[in-house]
A and B are shown apart, each in its own frame.
Chain A
Amino acid sequence: SQQGEEDPQALSIQEGENATMNCSYKTSINNLQWYRQNSGRGLVHLILIRSNEREKHSGRLRVTLDTSKKSSSLLITASRAADTASYFCATGGRLDSSYKLIFGSGTRLLVRP
């Protein structure tokens, strides 16, 4: 089963609005990361938040982490048409000597001009 599950699966908003995506996970984590994937392309790393952090900002991105609820959220403020993409959360960090990332199934964001 998936370690991370994003919610919603799809989101359509108007340019200028904020977009919020949520991610839930099941087991203990070292860190949680958010990636963006444009259609048919590779993944771009957006932001990493460690298990001892609660909130992190990067430009128009704001990520929160609640380890008690095993959930994270990604907020994109003042969205632009160029933000249209799929967004994935991934749990990772060094666990059992492995650095593998475990991805959720993603949120497909459409920003309408």
Chain B
Amino acid sequence: NAGVMQNPRHLVRRRGQEARLRCSPMKGHSHVYWYRQLPEEGLKFMVYLQKENIIDESGMPKERFSAEFPKEGPSILRIQQVVRGDSAAYFCASSPPYEGVDEQYFGPGTRLTVT
């Protein structure tokens, strides 16, 4: 059973470009979470999605950031018109769809560098 997969692992974008980060959850998992980690800091929650639904986006910046988890295919975190402050590691996690399971399984992350 493959773990959570993220790609690309490293992404370099120039200011003003768009960044698209992909996350494939573990098999059988229908809950996906995105977190951002700045250097020397802990992870900050961004958004929680289920298939075709955004459940909690309280951690998402109001502008330029969007996330989706379509019926088919991976979850996508999209950052438009990137700025230097968007440089960070972005982690995706997934969990199964049933009650009582609170553990989240993390992917290896995508390290975004904005030049």
Contact = CB atoms under 8 A, between A and B. Distances in A.
Contact of B55 (A30, A40, A44, A98): A98
B33 A43 contact: no
**How many residues of B sit at the interface, in one of the four size bands?**
20 to 34
A75 interface: no
A25 interface: no
Interface of B: 31, 33, 35, 40-45, 48, 55-56, 58-59, 91, 93, 95, 99, 102-109, 111
21 contacts: A30-B102, A31-B102, A33-B102, A33-B103, A42-B91, A42-B108, A43-B106, A45-B106, A88-B42, A92-B104, A94-B102, A97-B56, A99-B31, A99-B33, A101-B33, A101-B35, A101-B43, A103-B42, A103-B43, A103-B44, A106-B42
